[in-house]
Structure 1
Amino acid sequence: MLLTTKNVHVFDKEQHKLVGLMCFHAARLYNVALYNARQHFFAEHCLLSYNDNYHKSRENENYALLQTDVGQPAIKKATTDMQSFFAKLASDKHKQKSGLPRYKPKEGMTTLEINGTRIRLRDGFALIGFSKGFKQEYKPTCKT
């Protein structure tokens, strides 16, 4: 029974740059979602739900540069990290100070989650689509 497929692909320079840019914008979107969740925590002392965080974060320019199926997991990861923080607060036996989740580095990247609907297999190659905003901003010439 095959549950997952692992494809190893060697990128040329332009493909590597484009995937790196997508990882960069995913990290920026994670930081935006985490910022929204942290600010809500400081103001309300409760967790910001994924739906509310999504509606706040999708107005950011980094969300427009990523496809929906790529941007939503970054927001989900920030929400999951905050949920872990709240679980640690609730179960902290020794009342140690639990730290809030940290932001990604300013020029850093994060893992890029691409769901199966955004990858097309054609002639033995995996084709990754770009959003309209990404195409307008970076004008990719290669097929990734």
Structure 2
Amino acid sequence: MSNFELPLSGDIHQSINPWELWIKTLSVQTGFINIKNVHSSNPELEQNIIENVASYGQQLNLVHQAMLVLIKNLPSELNHEDKQAVANYTAMQQRIEKAKLGKANKEDLLDEVDSVIRKLNKIKRSHPDEYLLAKQKLTTLMQSD
């Protein structure tokens, strides 16, 4: 006797990856460019701009070039907070340039670890169940060394 199945009622196979769910809590971007997932007031216009005018990377590069001009022409007598802001920006841009060249140093890698720790602490407060899953995965990874 053959099995009788109604349309669209066959076997269902769906993989559920808790790690992917956890990653999605870190950012609304789930792919290379996901305008529809971002809170944009005009997603169609934004999509048109990044596809036909300038990508996000191109836009950021132009902003970076303009910032370098402004930094070169800053007055020498900046307060401590302003000096720190310029130093932070310059350090970030240096890390970006290294990443473009495929180079990373120990400090960059440790900065990434610090960033992950900050994000985990944020998830620990806002999504404790996902945090426990991430903690379990990281514990398994650390114990395997």
Same fold (TM over 0.5): no
Higher relative helix content: 2
Structure ranking higher on relative contact order (CA contacts 8 Å, 6+ apart): 1
What's the TM-score once normalised by structure 2's chain length?
A: 0.23
Larger-gyration structure (1/2): 2
Higher relative strand content: 1
